[in-house]
Amino acid sequence: MENGWSWEQKTLISELIQGMELAKQLRVQFSGTSSSPESTDMLLQRLLNSYEKALLILRWSGPVGQSHTMGVTAGVPGSPISVNGSPGSDEFEKGLKDQQELNDVSKKRKILPRWTDQVRVNSETGLEGPHDDGYSWRKYGQKDILGAKYPRSYYRCTFRITQNCWATKQVQRSDEDPNLFEITYRGRHTCSHATNLVPAPSSPEKQEQKHNNSNNNNDNQQKQSLEILSTIRNNLRVATENLDNREMAHPFSFPSTSFGCMKSENSHFSLSELDNSALLGGFPQPFLSQASPESNYFMASPFQVSNFGGVHLQHSESEIISAHTSATNSPILDIDFSLDPVEIDPNFPFDTPGFFS
DNA sequence: CCCATTTGACCAAT
DNA sequence: ATTGGTCAAATGGG
């Protein structure tokens, strides 16, 4: 299956990614040394931002002749770490095989898009874990893995119930390098259409959910708004926690709510990020922030990329667009009862709201 | 009291 | 039977 990208485009992308990876490695090295001047960090960050933007622009313009029916074709993958031994092509083949099998026999297995990312954590900077990738996760399990030194943690989206968001992730600490975490994402977030959470109560205190509820379009959203509030609370908390980091150097600060299940503490969003949010109808992705591995792929082709900047896409179910856009206001229950959420993959990547300019 | 995490049990896939 | 993944009761924090 061809994804529509020309060879030149692919090459261009890979070159950009490579440059970005190198820049990130450089930054890691610099951040290790205490003697790195502040300006170096900032320069590197700006360098990375430039890469981000370039990649974004490239992808927004899309592959040549690509039909944009699927909306955004790809997000820029996040936080590529080292290029070390990433089994890119193997994974690609694997994904391809899976996909073929999936097409041939409609296996009723729940195969969600899955990709892994690696996050390195500066252990001494008070950062406790790789966990803040911009989404609200709820831990639901932990398991000792055979042959692994550290247990694996299982997280699901906080909004699984209320918004039928089936994104999950697994966090596995690396054996040899305890500062390295491998995070496997499964499924994508569909929780952002929590609509009217835009009014960011600048006071995170327990405002009455009921009041907001009247603002909410539906009746069954009571619990939802409650969770939203808690998310907002989390946002604020995290935002303050992370202030110590290098993130301070970043010119853009986000209104700390607004994005569904997204947390917005990744303050080094670039302008392109803002554009994203707008284009995607409030469905931002924490692109590329080195601290935010959550890099959602939104691609028309199930396996457009196999190894994109350190993010290994393992396989991806073909995207089924269940278009509950803002027009449909009660999509959750509908999906809940009429469709198997897993099989249908209620993810609605983006119905290309952004492409009509 | 509410909510998130912990943790052993359970289940499903090899 | 073993292992990875999820559930859900218990626990603990705010």
Model confidence band, residue A205 (pLDDT cutoffs 50, 70, 90): very low
Q: How far is the CA of A202 from the C1' of C13 (A)?
A: 24
C-beta of residue A283 within 8 angstroms of C-beta of residue A354 = no
Burial (CB < 10 A; 0-12, 13-18, 19+), residue A241, is middle
Which has the higher per-residue pLDDT, A63 or A348?
A63
What is residue A52's predicted lDDT score, i.e. its pLDDT? 63
Left if phi > 0, otherwise alpha if psi is -120 to 50, otherwise beta: which for A342?
alpha
Strands (E) across chain A are located at: 114-120, 137-143, 152-157, 168-173, 180-186, 307-308, 311-315
Buried b (16+ CB within 10 A) or exposed e, A171-195: bbbbeeeeebbbbbbbbbbbbbbbb
Nearest nucleotide to A158 by CA–C1' distance? B4
Residue A349 has pLDDT above 60, yes or no: no
Q: What is the pLDDT of residue A187?
A: 86
DSSP helix/strand/coil, A115: strand
- Cβ A58 to strand B below 7 Å: no
Predicted pLDDT of residue A168: 92
The predicted model gives A222-243 an average pLDDT of 46
Q: How far apart are CA A302 and CA A291, in angstroms?
A: 26
Q: What are the CB-based long-range contacts (under 8 Å, 24+) for A244-250?
A: A244/A125, A244/A126, A245/A125, A245/A127, A245/A291, A246/A31, A246/A41, A246/A45, A247/A291, A249/A38, A249/A41, A249/A42, A249/A45, A250/A45
Dist CA A275 CA A269 (whole Å): 10
Which residue's alpha carbon is at the shortest distance from the C1' of C2? Answer: A146
3-state secondary structure of A313: strand
Q: Are A162 and A287 in contact (CB under 8 A)?
A: no
Nearest nucleotide (C1') to alpha carbon of A141: C6
A4-25: average pLDDT? 67
Section A320-332 average pLDDT: 38
pLDDT in tens, A46-69: 777 666 666 665 555 555 544 333
Q: Cβ of residue A138 near strand B, that is under 7 Å?
A: yes
DSSP-assigned beta bridge partners for residue A142 = A153
Nucleotide nearest to A184 (CA to C1'): C5
Which strand ranges, in their side-by-side order, compose the sheet holding A311-315? Answer: A137-143, A152-157, A168-173, A180-186, A114-120, A311-315, A307-308
What confidence tier does A114 reach under pLDDT thresholds 50, 70, 90?
confident
With both helix axes pointing from N to C terminus, report the angle between A38-61 and A7-32 in degrees, rounded to the nearest 10: 160
Q: Quick one: which residue's CA is nearest to C8's C1'?
A: A140
A42 — pLDDT class (breaks 50, 70, 90): low
Helix or strand holding residue A93 (H, E): helix A88-104
Q: What's the Å distance between residue A32 CA and nucleotide C12 C1'?
A: 36
Q: Is 60 exceeded by the pLDDT of residue A97?
A: no
Q: What is the DSSP code (8-state) at residue A126?
A: T
How many distinct helices (H) and strands (E) make up chain A? Answer: 9, 7
**Of the listed ranges A30-34, A118-122, A248-252, A309-313, the one predicted with least confidence:** A248-252
Query: In whole angstroms, how far apart are CA A2 and each of A12, A63, A302, A303?
Result: 17, 11, 10, 9
| A180-186 vs A114-120, strand pairing mode | antiparallel
Residue A37 has pLDDT above 60, yes or no: yes
Query: What pLDDT, on a 0 to 100 scale, did the predictor assign at position A35?
Result: 58
pLDDT reading at A155 higher than 90: yes
User: What would the mean pLDDT of A16-41 be, rounded to a whole number?
Assistant: 67
Burial class (CB in 10 A: 0-12, 13-18, 19+), A25: middle
* Res A164 pLDDT > 70: yes
Please report the pLDDT score of residue A111 as a whole number: 58
Which residue gives the smallest C-alpha to C1' distance to C3?
Answer: A146
**DSSP for residue A70:** G
Cα A114 to Cα A87: distance, rounded to the nearest angstrom:
15
Q: Which residue has the tokens 């690609």?
A: A92
Q: What is the DSSP letter of A290?
A: T
Q: At what angle do helices A271-279 and A38-61 cross, to 10 degrees?
A: 30
pLDDT per position as a tens digit, A243-289: 333 333 333 333 434 444 555 444 443 434 333 333 333 333 433 33
- Average pLDDT over chain A reads 54
Q: Which nucleotides of C are covered by protein (CB under 7 A)?
A: 2-8
Nearest alpha carbon to residue A114 among A349, A351, A341, A315: A315
How far apart, in whole angstroms, are the C-alpha atoms of residue A164 and residue A131?
A: 22
- Report DSSP state, residue A338: H
- Between A285 and A113, name the one with better pLDDT: A113
The per-residue pLDDT for A210 is 36
The predicted pLDDT at position A346 comes to 39
Instruction: Report the percentage of chain A scoring pLDDT > 90.
Output: 8
Q: Is the pLDDT reported for residue A23 higher than 60?
A: yes
